[in-house]
Amino acid sequence: MLTNVDNQIAGAGAIQVPLINQSGGIINANVASVPLAIEVVINGGVLEASNGAELLVASPLRGPAA
Amino acid sequence: MKILWNNSAGGNFNSAPNWAFAGVPGPADIAAMTLSGTYAVSSHVSNTVLGFTTGAGATLAITGSSTFTATQGTATGINGGHVIVADGSTLKAGGTINNVNQILLSAAGHATEFLVMSPLTLKGGGWYRCRATVTTSFRPLAGMLCLPMLTTRLRGLERSRCR
């Protein structure tokens, strides 16, 4: 399990470990020619694709418990 | 034990004279590259430490298709400088990485990885940049996880915020 509290993970490739992206976390696919693939368990932060890139999310998105 | 880098010109991680007092950090040690100045420390054979910490001007370069393991991440310190995982090399970490600056996975034809010794927490407000021409990945220590059928695709300038 990878918990991202408040870092920004950007670029291309794959995050192949279950990921909790907390409120301060940003996952940004920003390389136009190569996607960034992730497996998010819980997302309370930001998932984004920019610069014409693709962010591939390999699991249903779920927000944190209220 | 915290072992301090002691060569402001940078150099080889595995050269004992570059470290103060106890020599090259090992599995029970914190490698503290907090000496002031701008310099690069090159780890080109596999090394294991308890933790690592870098100052603002320090770069830890993991090269030579080697693996740098920090079983407790940055332990009590921070990554205040840069960690560069060069093409074909691996950073392996558990515990917490308090990253206030940048960790770069820089692939140029070979798999370049960040192995997660679960659980791992990333904090400190810093950056992880994955520069890929072939493969960069974060993956669990014990084998690859197969990605199931892709269910969601964010393309271009789209943005998702789930709260």
Would you say residue B150 lies in a domain? Answer: no
3-state class of A2 per DSSP?
strand
- What does each of the 66 residues of chain A score in pLDDT, given as a tens digit? 889 999 999 988 888 888 899 999 999 998 888 888 888 778 999 999 998 888 888 777 677 776
d(CA B25, CA B14): 8
Chain B environment of A57 (Cβ under 8 Å): 150-154
Would you say residue A34 lies in a domain? Answer: yes
- What does each of the 163 residues of chain B score in pLDDT, given as a tens digit? 999 999 999 999 999 999 998 799 999 999 999 999 999 999 999 999 999 999 999 999 999 999 999 999 999 999 999 999 998 899 999 999 999 999 998 888 888 888 888 789 999 999 988 876 556 666 665 433 333 333 344 444 444 443 3
Output the DSSP codes for A6-43: S-EEEESEEEEEEEEE-TT-EEEE--TTS-EEEEEEEE
Nearest-neighbour CA in chain A from B95: distance (Å): 10
Would you say residue B49 lies in a domain? Answer: yes
Question: How many domains does chain B divide into?
Answer: 1
Would you say residue A51 lies in a domain? Answer: yes
Provide the mean pLDDT of chain B: 85
Q: Which domain holds residue B118?
A: 2-140
Pairwise CB contact (< 8 Å): B150 & A53: no
pLDDT digits (tens, 9 = 90+) for B79-120: 999 999 998 899 999 999 999 999 998 888 888 888 888 789
Would you say residue A62 lies in a domain? Answer: no
Pairwise CB contact (< 8 Å): B135 & A13: yes
d(CA A64, CA A62): 7
Would you say residue A66 lies in a domain? Answer: no
**With left for phi above 0 and alpha for psi between -120 and 50, is residue B126 left, alpha or beta?**
beta
Pairing relationship of beta strands B102-106 and B112-123 according to DSSP bridges: unpaired
CA-based nearest residue to A26, from B20, B119, B126, B17: B126
